[in-house]
Structure 1
Amino acid sequence: MSKLVIVESPAKARTISGYLGKEYRVEASIGHIRDLPKPSDLPADMKKGPFAKFSVDVGHGFEPYYVVSPDKKKKVAELKKLLKNADELYLATDEDREGEAIAWHLLAALKPKVPVKRMVFHEITKEAINRALGATRELNRQLVDAQESRRILDRLVGYEVSPLLWRKVAPSLSAGRVQSVTTRLVVERERERMAFVPVSYWDVTAVFAKSETEFKARLTSVDKARVAVGKDFADTGRLGDKALREGVRVLGKTDAAQLAASLEGGTGTVTALERKPYRRRPAPPFTTSTLQQEASRKLRLSSRETMRIAQALYENGYITYMRTDSVNLSQQAVSAARTQIKEMYGSEFLPAKPRVYVTKSKGAQEAHEAIRPAGDHFRTPGEVKAKLQAGEFALYELIWKRTVASQMEDARGDTVSVKITVCPQGADSVSEAVFSAAGTVISFPGFICAYEEGRDNRRYEEKAQSHLPELDRGEILTVKGSTGEGHETAPPPRYTEASLVKTLEEKGIGRPSTYASTISTITDRGYVYRRGQALVPTWLAFAVTRLLEENLPELVDYDFTADMEHELDRIAAGEENRSEYLENFYHGSKGRKGLEGQVAQLGDIDARAVNTIEITPRINVRVGRYGPYLEEINAAGEENRRASVPGDIAPDELTGEKAEEILTAALQEDRILGKEPVHGYDIAVKDGRFGPYVSEVIPDDAVQLTPTGKVSKTKPKPRTASLFKTMNPQTVTLEDALKLLSLPRSLGESDGEQITVQNGRYGPYLKCGKESRSLESEEQIFTITKEEARELLKQPRVRGRAAARPPLAEFGTDPVSGKNVVLKDGRFGPYVTDGETNASVPRSEDINRLTTQRALELLAARRQKIAENGGVKKRRATKRSTGAKRSTGTKRKK
């Protein structure tokens, strides 16, 4: 008896086949096999029918038209062939909505005539596979409906809204149900940073002593009034309403210095002492969202990289399914964790009863267990280290530690807080000052021995706790020293991937399983870029967000988007009809216009207004076809000056002063250097998209002669040449320009071939026939002699560099490969490498400011690109010879 088992990936197929008998044949569909085609790819007879716009019939129940993807036709044919020899079909795709939909599409495409069983499991171990074989079920059409509704929603939103962006902002842009809202979150945070007004404030720290023990305490109040700290100020630069009501006092530099000086040699009295028991519970096991957050904090992995590694760990049987909202652990998992705690840490670290965690996430229905090590017995990190790559091991170790720690005892201890009152001598403005300090003593570490949860950066971090001596109320302490310290309020911190994922989950936007692809999409589309771990929106994101906020506000409304997710959960639970929901969303319902009506009612959108962001009343940023630029308007409302916005300046850094500096430094208009001697054309230095260059200025009445002496119908084209990197557009001369325009420079013949010197895309080089050699500098183009060129051509061609140069900087160990990361200067510019993967540093980034975090992110992004290309590193395309003949085995039939 032959049984065909179909899973999604080859890795999963290999692992599962090892647990099944010879009668089972395990094959991979390699993801989805069917999808909605682009309308342009529809059959000719459907391009004018009800499916023409979306490949979905929005007039008849939102019926989708699916086709087998072109790259999956061969796979489907292969599966059909295997199915002919099978007695049973097991659809063993993932147990979430996406996996259920893949199984449904397989069923529709293969049309099996043998019994079909739906087989689900959340871990790939022998025990789990055997249990799954004995507990098969029917296909869950409700889960399919939910996934199908999500796919159709995304198609409707994308195809209705994206064309609007193409017309009013820029071509090739995209809008999405979740990506547009995510972009808005990042843009809104940047707006808050742009509106933020920094304020200076001061505090005082004193060193108190009891016998030989010293500790620090911070000033918290003067004359019964609390001293202001950073969080008391609003973004406007003023004290917040709560601080004003409480009568908070702001210390200036003079006040702080005077108070600090008046404390020297004085004493303080312990006026309040409070001791409380300290108890801290471990964090629950990982969900998809919390795994992405912790991997970002601790391993510096992007959400996409985290999910890629987790997928590999799952498919190879190391962890349970990695797309889940649940924090619940099975009885087998709890037993395995408790066994390892007792064996590795001791019985005192094991609670009397297992811990039970309850999922707080709204609508958590993706899977039934948290992410944990696979199996009824957990493999320790030491047992798997030799079998895993560095990145896989790091993530497995993180998951193992979190799972084991979640079943361990609480950390326990005592927290002591003390208040010390000082009466300054000689401080005219202060008669009483109160200092506070706190310290925690851990008497039993509990779960901290195994794992401690990371935290996102906070706007105002709490002061580090002090190690306090034994103190009593009324005790007199000596002031050993004091200092005043100035501070400046901080703007709201930018989102990191970890904090953005956390916010999306808290607001109920999208699903944790889609966060990685959402963040990757807004990055790849040019809406967001990374600076270290921070996510910075581009000016393009500002324009797109503004257009949607002003014209289609529902699509970027957080509550509306979260409600859409809730409705999809209701469809998955069988509580709502798929067609009715899509009908209300697109066509509308009583009292509410649907997406179709909202888009149809849009008037003429002012593209100039949408693409304009005000910096000052007279300076704006404009999002243009070739990128953002500054535009200064004079009193008459006309453009006065213009300059491109440098790519390394974040939106909140583009202040009025910075904008003025950029406009002043930019080349304001074409500078005429003089006339070239042959035709008398003016030579001008200009500022272009790729930097300054010189060009001939061809008059409108200029004519071009053909080789026979006749007047050509085409106008002469101006010669142009980029300035050398060492040239300044403000000081370049006519002589310099004529030299540049004369390139390529001929050095004469060598063995019947002309030797020429020129500046190319990748720098200066000389060429003789088919031979070429790179030059060391641009200036060499005009100084190298024929003899020097011939000597250089005699040397063997070297790809890259003749000798390895030392790295420009070192960044430590990469958490994925475990190898040292360095910055190097290559033929095509600076790049970071771990010896296995090379990642170019964008030209907009200053290599002198490149951080370790940024270097690791560049490598992670490069690895992802390689993975998406099937593990193949793409090479630069080369033009095929035009004379090459097409080789075919048979003649093409007409």
Structure 2
Amino acid sequence: MPKALVIVESPAKAKTIKRYLGSDYSVEASVGHIRDIIQPKNVKTDKRYNLTIHENNSELHSYGIDVSGENPSENIWEPWYVVSENSKKTITQLRKALKNVELLYLATDEDREGEAIAWHLVEVLKPKVPFYRMVFHEITEKAIIGALEQTRDIDMDLVAAQEARRIMDRMSGFGWSGVMRQVIGGGASGGPVQSPTTRRLVERERERIKFISADYCSLSASVITKKDAMFNTKLIEINNQKVVSGKNDFDENGELKKSNEVVVLDESRSNSLKEALKSKTLSVSSIERSPYQRKPKPPFTTSTFQQEVINKLGGSASAAMGIAQSLYQNGYITYHRTDSTALSDQAIEAARASIETECGIEYLPREVRTYENKTSSAQLAHEAIRPAGETFRHPDELKGDLNKDQLRVYEIIWKRTLASQMTDEKGETARMLLSGSVSTENSPEAQTLTFSASGRVITHPGFRYIYEETSENDEDVEGEEVLPDLPEGETVTIDQIDVKNHSTKPPARFTESSIVKWMEEVGIGRPSTFSATIGKIRAREYTYKEGRSLVPTVKGIVGTNFLELEFNEEVQYHNRANLEQSLDKIANGNKNRVETLNKWWFEPSIGFKHKLVDVQDKIQLGELPKLRHEIAHHVGVDPESNQNIYARFANQKPYVQYDIDGETASIPESLPPDQLTVLKAKEYLNAAAEPDQIICEDPETGLDVVLRQGSYGWYVSLGHFPKWPRSSSPEGELMRLPHHLKPLKVAAAYLRSAADPTDNEAILYLLNSPKRGIGKRSIEHFQKIAEDNQCSLLEAFQTGSVLKPGSSQESALENLIHLITQYQKKQESERPSSLIRELLHDSGYWEELLTLKEPESKIKNIELFISALSKFDNCQVAVDILFERERLKNTPRPKTASLLDGMDPETLTKEEALQLLSLPKVLEPDDDSQITPTNPDSETEISEEEIPEITVHNGPYGPYLRFGDDTRSLGDDDDPFIITYSRAREILSEPKKFRRRQSKEITLKNDDGSPCTDPVSEKPIVLKEGRFGPYVTDGETNASLQLGDSVEQMNGERAKELLAERRAQQ
């Protein structure tokens, strides 16, 4: 029986460590975090909740965090933790394993998250045996045994830093998300790292939108020496004026920065020079040679590892971290979440031994190389990422142990580690200037031309013998042409001349690699969270991937505009960097957790809570339409109408709109914002403004058959869709309020009764709002009186013959009659907004709302109603809009049918349109209907005694047959409009064929045709069609396709990214 229990984070790590420990040790996994902060909706049902103590604790109710304290110095900032639902079974297993052991070792990762997990394990398991913190940087036998011999206590400073970060993330995330979903909708959310990073992506897109391209030409010539050596040159000066050579010569508006000092070659002048230079000679005016020396890069930190793997192999940061996780857990590399560039003495010895073996003694520097760390974070307890062990295994030795992706990543780590300890690259650079003079037809006077040639000769490759760092920018790669040794004055003959046209390009969008590099440089987030942050930004559809570029969406731009407007300081890059430094100080024991949180949350004017309340007040006071307009993306001004065009996001979709309340048109979600020009926006607006295209009149119903284009292609409809007013218009704002809620129903009823006291429906609804004690039977009596006397309910009330004379009910009813009569007169002169506010107060309904559960939300909705009414001068107009809303809501949705493959909307005929709308239809049995074929795959048996009903349908994936619960797609050879009953029976009798409508499965392949496997689970990746759309899975993790992905273009590399991003979010 084991004497000690070792708890690690992952089952894979547990499996590896078990190999190094004997039978005295049991190794179990916590499977990540076991507790998280309680969801706010569950606070009041938690056993810790005490109404007397916690009733006014707003932070506890809103975020699950008990701040408490009569004043800031007494605040406790205590999150209410609960065991995660997925961890309950794990906790039971750990308790069982802990029962019969004498020692407990907490071997979670040595970072803030790992330290917090260890603390949570102690809090939940409450061990009665001694427990120790056990840490290691690599999973090798020596490292594990060494860690058992050098245990320590849980570092509560690290736990405090992790908890402070989690509190900030929860409160800022929930706070931002709450207001963003009201202002923007569409699952919008914010976060302390996510939002500044999104802002940087958006800023780059704004630069691209603002950018104006400039055109120029370049001229290059290949020359031949007297000894027939050839090399390339480039024209750099004309008459001692620099020739424009790239984007650095132009500003963002396409204008020259120094127009008086440079020459811009156009195509005409370039070709003139080309003709003039043919067979001419150039003279060497100078040549400069100088030695150069290039040092190797340090070994990998988490961020440099992510950047290099993305640049070399493609994919995402999440995918890179997923592969590194599997390599670490299986003992191939050291811990992969680190800010340190340091190598242990053991690692340096292993690297130098490998260098001597693989490259030779000449590549081994005399002195050991050390690298200065760029960060002061607590993660420096780790080493850099390197191969594990006392000796480094050559990648070739692991070909049978690792899959293709794991091997490629291991090889990059192995090479980078060795390169960091190798000699410098040495060589010589050379730059030659050559001159000549020519005259052209346009410029008869001689022009002095200066050409340049440059090259490099490597005399000792040093670290480049084994490793070459990649760059995202091809322009960064220096030419390595060897230049001949020519004396000054030597002439060379021009052989070939090449003229190229160029246009300056806007700043490149960020890739995952470059945004990771930026996050590290600025100090936003931690390397261990970079991949999860990028994954979250993509999952929220603030950006999508186009090739390797991260393209912001309209939703991302609008969300960023909102945060810059209302939380400007919070999305400034220095702000988050300063918070990260504060967390580092807490982790190092140099700063107080409570003081840091108090300042961040409560500080007057600039504290996060104050800014959040300010925005909530604006929303509550009816400033939502104004706010939505202020955060819209300004596309430009239509030169024809002089109207502004804006891009907005609402109802989960982006759209463009003229001015604040003009015409609107949907735009594709994946339209890059820098391509959304005024001209493009007008295309969408003009198309949307065109009237419905009526194909014909349906002979049966008399309704129009209309051709329309929707989000999923062309379709026909039987009749027109109801036209709702624009949501930004006064009518639309009033209509889109939550009228299903009782407070709004009552308010609308009072408004209607003031406009028309004979509106029996309205009178009936407000009769007991507030409570007047008028029972159901009394109401029925009043209704009978009104019916018998053909009068309104209000007139029936005035008979007074139903209620007991002098009763409180009779008094309440008299007050109501007086109130409605009084406000009927007022409504003719008062605006509806002020009238309804007075009416609700005078009726007592407002006061009643204040006594109900959660009155704030009820009053908030009333205020929104009043705000919407403030746009109207006349009470009756507002009431008419409420009636119109009911009519639109109750208008049946027209029957629709998508055009089939091969149908052209331009040539769609009346017959085709009517055929489409005829589906679904029941097939009539024919002469062969008694034949009953056997269907081995059918879920519904076909009986010979009865003729089953078979229907033809037009579904999202094309036409198909239905028989009971069984379906079959129709092939290209079967026309859904003329198919016979017997042919349908034949199709249904056949086994089901693969089709998209079913649970579609495609096993993704590598380039060589082998099955693509996930680097973490090492299981095949399959593309499937699910209830909510296509997704990829390895059998353990499912990941939906994201914005910009398509089934047709899905490949193994992208699938691995999606799975890695999904794991990072779990």
**Is TM-score (shorter-chain normalized) higher than 0.5?**
yes
Cross-structure match for 1:744: 920
Q: What is the match of residue 880 of structure 1?
A: none
Q: What is the count of residue pairs matched by the alignment?
A: 843
In structure 2, which of residues 296, 312, 337 is the aligned counterpart of residue 298 of structure 1?
312
Given candidates 34, 50, 56, the residue that maps to 2:65 is 56
SS of structure 1 residue aligned to 2:20: coil
Matching of residue 175 in structure 1 with residue 197 in structure 2: no
* Contact 1:263-1:481 at 8 Å conserved across structures: no
Alignment partner, residue 197 of structure 1: 212
5 Å matches for 1:206-245? Answer: 206-210=221-225, 211-239=227-255, 241=257, 243-244=258-259
| Residue 443, structure 1, aligned to residue 443, structure 2 | no
Query: Which of 628, 641, 648 is equivalent to 1:622?
Result: 648
Q: Which moved more, 1:824-833 or 1:432-441?
A: 824-833
Offset of 1:504 from its aligned partner? 0.5
Which of 94, 98, 101 pairs up with 1:83?
98
Distance in 1 of aligned mates of 2:922 and 2:158: 71
Amino acid at match of 2:400: A
Q: Aligned pair in 2 of structure 1 residues 394, 667: CA closer, same or farther (>3 Å)?
A: farther
1:204-262 Cα distance to aligned partner (Å, 9 max, x none): 10111112211111111111111112232445333454x458x1222222221112221
Between stretches 422-431 and 9-18, larger displacement belongs to: 422-431
After TM superposition, give the deviation of residue 333 of structure 1 in Å: 0.2
Shift of 1:869: 11
**For 1:384, which of 398, 405, 412 is the aligned residue?**
398
Task: State how far apart, in whole Å, the 1-side matches of 2:1005 and 2:241 are.
Answer: 50
Matches within 5 A, 1:97-176: 97-176=112-191
Q: Is the 8 A contact 2:10 2:32 kept in 1?
A: yes
Could you tell me which runs of 5 or more consecutive residues in structure 1 were left unpaired when the two chains were aligned: 701-712, 871-894
Q: Are the aligned partners of 1:169 and 1:611 in contact in 2 as well (CA < 8 Å)?
A: no
Q: Does 1:601 align with 2:624?
A: no
Could you tell me how far 1:756 is from its partner in structure 2?
2.3
Structure 2 counterpart of 1:39: 40
C-alpha spacing 1:141/1:312, structure 2 compared with 1 (3 Å)? same
Matches within 5 A, 1:840-855: 855=1051
Of residues 678, 697, 708 in structure 1, which corresponds to 2:719? 697
Q: Could you report, residue by residue, the CA deviation over 1:681-704 in whole angstroms, capped at 9, with x for unpaired residues?
A: 23333344434332233799xxxx
The structure-2 alpha-carbon separation of the partners of 1:17 and 1:430, relative to structure 1 and needing over 3 Å to count, comes to farther
Give the match for residue 12 of structure 1.
13
Structure 1 counterpart of 2:679, from 654, 657, 664: 657
Q: Work out whether residues 206 and 216 of structure 1, in 8 Å CA contact, stay in contact via their aligned partners in 2.
A: yes
1:761 and 2:774 correspond: no
Q: Distance in 1 between matches of 2:477 and 2:229?
A: 23
Question: What secondary structure sits across from 2:379 in the alignment?
Answer: coil
User: Residues 318 and 1061 of structure 2 are in contact (CA less than 8 Å); yes or no, is this contact kept in structure 1?
Assistant: no
Q: Is the 8 A contact 1:222 1:432 kept in 2?
A: yes
Q: Report matched runs for 1:335-414 at 5 Å.
A: 335-361=349-375, 363=377, 365-414=379-428
When normalised by structure 1's length, the TM-score is 0.88
Question: Once the two structures are superposed, what CA deviation does each residue of 1:547-600 show, in whole Å capped at 9, x if it has no partner?
Answer: 0001110121011111111111111111110000000000016xx520011122
Query: Does 1:686 pair with 2:693?
Result: no
Is the contact made by 1:222 and 1:430 (CA closer than 8 Å) also made in structure 2?
Answer: no
Contact 1:497 1:533 in 2 (8 A): yes
Q: Is contact 2:378–2:588 with CA below 8 Å preserved after alignment?
A: no
* Rounded Cα–Cα distance in structure 2 between residues aligned with 1:555 and 1:15: 43
TM-score norm. by structure 2 comes to 0.74
* SS, match of residue 414 in structure 1: strand
Structure 1: how far apart are the matches of 2:1023 and 2:61? Answer: 52
The CA distance in 2 between the partners of 1:328 and 1:808, in whole Å, is 40
Which position in structure 1 is the counterpart of 2:346? 332
Q: Quick one: which of 958, 967, 988 aligns to 1:793?
A: 988
Letter in 1 for 2:320: T
Q: Distance in 1 between matches of 2:138 and 2:579?
A: 30
Deviation at 1:846, TM superposition (A): 8.2
CA distance in structure 1 between the aligned counterparts of 2:1032 and 2:525, rounded to whole angstroms: 35
Q: Pick which of 436-445 and 322-331 moved more.
A: 436-445
What's the offset of the Cα at 1:788?
3.6
- Number of the residue aligned with 1:613: 633
Q: Quick one: higher RCO (CA 8 Å, sep 6+), 1 or 2?
A: 1
Match of 1:718 among 886, 889, 894: 894
Structure 1, 781-790 or 345-354: larger mean CA deviation: 781-790
Q: Which of the numbers 499, 508, 516 marks the counterpart of 2:523?
A: 508
Q: Distance in 2 between matches of 1:517 and 1:667?
A: 42
User: Matches of 1:112 and 1:400 in 2, distance apart?
Assistant: 41
Q: Distance in 1 between matches of 2:1026 and 2:76?
A: 58
CA-to-aligned-CA distance 1:589-624 (integer Å, 9 cap, x gap): 6xx520011122233352431452222214332212
Tell me the amino acid that sits aligned with residue 301 of structure 1: G
Q: 2:535–2:1064: 8 Å Cα contact kept in structure 1?
A: no
Which is richer in helix?
Answer: 2
Is the 2:302–2:339 contact (alpha carbons within 8 Å) kept by the matching residues of 1?
yes
**Amino acid aligned to 2:513:** A
Asked if structure 2 preserves the Cα contact closer than 8 Å seen for 1:223 and 1:430, the reply is no
In structure 1, what is the Cα distance between the partners aligned to 2:102 and 2:1046? 63
Deviation for aligned residue 1:117? 1.2
Task: Report if aligned partners of 2:553, 2:669 keep a CA contact under 8 Å in 1.
Answer: no
Question: 1:206, 1:481 within 8 Å by CA — same for their partners in 2?
Answer: yes
Report the secondary structure of 1:484's partner residue. Answer: strand
Does structure 1 retain, via aligned residues, the 8 Å contact 2:535–2:1061?
Answer: no
Moved more, 821-830 or 108-117: 821-830
SS of residue paired to 1:19: coil
Q: Give the C-alpha shift of residue 499 in structure 1.
A: 0.4
- Distance in 2, matches of 1:823 and 1:430, equals 69
User: In structure 2, the residue corresponding to 1:753 is in which secondary structure?
Assistant: coil
CA distance in 2, matches of 1:822, 1:111: 41
For residues 746-801 of structure 1, the C-alpha deviation after alignment (integer angstroms, 9 at most, x for no partner) is 33234401232221132211233454321234982224344443443343332349
SS in 2 for 1:720: strand
In 2: Cα distance, 1:38 partner to 1:825 partner:
32
Provide closer, same or farther for how the CA distance between residues 519 and 143 of structure 1 changes in structure 2, counting only shifts above 3 A.
Answer: same
Tell me how far apart the structure 1 counterparts of residues 1047 and 608 of structure 2 sit (CA, whole Å). Answer: 46
Structure 2 CA distance, aligned partners of 1:859 and 1:447? 34
- Amino acid in structure 1 at the alignment position of 2:4: K
Q: For residue 829 of structure 1, report the CA deviation from its aligned partner.
A: 14
2:308 maps to a residue whose letter is E
Name structure 2 gaps, 5 residues minimum: 69-74, 638-642, 723-888, 931-946
**1:23, distance to aligned residue in structure 2 (A):** 1.5
Flag the 1:279–1:501 CA change in 2: closer, same or farther, 3 A.
same
Question: Which has the greater radius of gyration?
Answer: 2
**Which amino acid is the alignment partner of residue 685 of structure 1?**
L
Identity %: 41
Q: Distance in 2 between matches of 1:537 and 1:66?
A: 36
Distance apart, 1:68 and its partner CA: 1.5
Judge conservation of contact 2:40–2:62 (CA < 8 Å) in 1.
yes
Report the equivalent of 2:280: 266
Structure 2: how far apart are the matches of 1:624 and 1:721?
A: 26
- 2:694 — aligned with what? 672
How far apart, CA to CA, are the structure 2 residues paired with 1:828 and 1:776?
A: 23
Instruction: Return the offset for 1:319.
Output: 0.5
SS state at 1:312 partner? helix
Tell which deviates more after alignment, 667-676 or 286-295. 667-676
Q: CA deviation at 1:373?
A: 0.4
Inter-CA distance 526–654: structure 2 relative to 1 (3 Å threshold): same
Mapped contact 2:222–2:496 kept (Cα < 8 A): yes
Structure 2 residue identity aligned to 1:335? E
Change (3 A) 1:79 1:507: same
Deviation at 1:82, TM superposition (A): 2.5
Q: Aligned letter for 1:660?
A: K
Which residue identity is paired with 1:693?
A: Y
* Residue-by-residue CA offset, 1:514-541 (whole Å, 9 max, x unaligned): 0010000001111111011111111100
* Deviation at residue 385 of structure 1 after TM alignment: 1.6
Q: Does the CA contact (< 8 Å) of 1:232 and 1:240 recur in 2?
A: no
Contact conserved, 2:356 with 2:364, CA < 8 A, in 1? yes
> 1:873: which partner in 2?
none
8 Å contact from structure 1 (residues 419, 437) kept in 2: yes
The alpha carbon displacement at 1:714 in A equals 7.6
